[in-house]
Chain A
Amino acid sequence: MERENLFLLSLSFLMFSSVVALSAIGVVNLGVYVALLSLSYFGNSFVLRPRRRGFDFVGLGLLILFVTLTIRQVL
């Protein structure tokens, strides 16, 4: 299987299973969801290293979202 296909498949599996698992245990904090989604994304990228068309703007967006939500919770 192509590395990019594998990346997309495993990412979708991890993300949706994270959302289902967290909602099943009753988590209502969006920051936790975003943290787990970010973790899935960066972990998958680190392991599978897919090639991209250009800059990883999705990673940057997730990082900004994660940092923003975390700062809001801390403050």
Chain B
Amino acid sequence: MTRRWPFMGWIVAETAIIVALSLAILHELQANPLTSAWLTGRVPALVYFLNFWALAGLSAILTITLGTFVAIKGRVRDQSVVQSSRIARTRSLKGSLIRKLFVNFGRRKGLTGSRETASLESGSSMKPARNVSQVDPYGWLGFGLLAAGVLTLFASIFLTIAVAFDALGLSFIVLGFTALSLPRQLTGSKSMGALLQGAILDVETMLEPFSAGRAVYLPPEKSARVAAYVPLTEEGNIPDVEEMRHASTRIVDPRQKAVLVYPVGAELATLPELNDGLSLDAALNLVLVESAELCSRVEVEVDQGMVVVAMENVKVDTRPPSYLRSFGSIPASLAACVIAVSSQTPVWVIDETGVGSKNIARFGRET
């Protein structure tokens, strides 16, 4: 931090010196005809630029460029703190209970479970998700376009004198400033991530002493909230939906079999858009991309009892281990809530896999 200020100060001083020298030469040219004649004979191109308007433009451009540079440098320093955090962590979410749960639902629906079991097995190959670069993707592009625009505009005004070149220079400048105004991080709202992390801490504290199994997200009924049935032991069968709805919302006995909790996306059911017949694809995009900004893009595949959601550039890390084991990562948990609201059926996370920049979460649901 302290090292940066002499550097910035030197750049500011350089800018001031350039402007002052230019003004001095202009004054000399106007005051001394000999200098003007000498310059015209030897450096004729310079004479085009040595007038009041050119110098005013040059000063303005230097000042704007310098201001933008200083502002961006300051932000880059802030960003370096964030770069140490892990991004898009991949988790294996398979467990013996979810296998039982999945097969149990399949059996209740008269399925042999072969297809579902096979898909569970195929989810075992876990690849690490690629870390997404947080370096400013548009900074140099913006400065390059600005420089090209200024040069084109100057060349057009003083040399070619063509309106089309003026417009071309303007286009470069507009594009340059547009590139500089775009966000450094293409996805990921840090504030939203922090809020969601905080919201799951209560559930994490409650589940920590138990080896809780995979949660089943129940669609909203009278309470208009999505609830999640969490088995506290890995033994026993999963009850039917009505029984799950009536599970206790508190843990009063250490031997209790299950608990009903409200996940982070419990209140999503109150969103009018989700109840107005919005497609699952659009609903997931609305929640995960538009509103929460947890990823840059969502793709959905629905196949009978399974929903596959591919989330691109996920930038929120789910740290609490018990929550992660039971509910899945935060984006997957939110996606499960949306699927439960949209399909009005119980939903559970089968697994999550990192493939390139995508996190692919598979959800089982009762058909």
Contacts and interface: CB of A to CB of B under 8 A. Distances in A.
A30 B163 CA distance: 6
A39 to B, nearest CB: 12
A61 interface: yes
Contacts of B181: 52-54, 56-58
A29 B163 CA distance: 7
A64 to B, nearest CB: 13
Given A19-B167, A30-B163, A4 B182 contact: yes
A41 B183 contact: no
A7 B141 CA distance: 14
Contacts of A41: 174, 178
Interface in A1-23: 2-5, 7-8, 11-12, 15-16, 18-19, 22-23
Given A3-B296, A52-B183, A53-B183, A16 B171 contact: yes
B166 A30 contact: yes
A15 B170 CA distance: 10
Given A15-B171, A16-B171, A37-B174, A8 B179 contact: yes
B49 interface: no
A28 B163 CA distance: 6
B256 to A, nearest CB: 45
A72 interface: no
A35 to B, nearest CB: 11
B177 interface: yes
B97 to A, nearest CB: 38
Interface in B132-176: 138, 163-164, 166-168, 170-171, 174-175
B174 A62 contact: yes
Contacts of B175: 8, 11-12, 15
The DSSP consensus for interface residues of chain B is helix
* Range, interface on chain B: 20 to 34
B247 interface: no
A70 B186 CA distance: 36
A50 interface: yes
Contacts of A7: 178, 182
The A interface, classified by DSSP as helix, strand, loop or mixed, is: helix
Nearest to A49: B290
A37 B170 contact: yes
B77 to A, nearest CB: 15
Contacts of B167: 19, 22-23, 30, 33-34, 37
A7 B186 CA distance: 12
Contacts of B168: 16, 19
Contact of A11 (B163, B166, B178): B178
A58 B178 contact: yes
Contacts of B296: 2-3
A45 to B, nearest CB: 9
Nearest to A44: B178
Nearest to A54: B181
A51 B178 contact: no
Interface string B280-301: 0000000000000000110000
Contacts of A5: 186
27 contacts: A2-B186, A4-B182, A4-B183, A4-B186, A7-B182, A8-B178, A12-B171, A15-B175, A16-B168, A19-B168, A23-B164, A23-B167, A27-B163, A30-B166, A33-B167, A33-B170, A34-B167, A37-B167, A37-B171, A41-B174, A50-B182, A52-B182, A53-B181, A53-B184, A57-B181, A58-B178, A62-B174
Given A11-B178, A37-B170, 20 more contacts: A2-B297, A8-B178, A11-B175, A15-B175, A16-B168, A18-B171, A19-B164, A19-B167, A23-B167, A30-B166, A33-B163, A33-B164, A33-B170, A34-B170, A37-B171, A51-B183, A52-B183, A53-B183, A53-B184, A58-B178
Closest 4 CB pairs of A and B: A23-B164, A33-B167, A15-B171, A58-B177
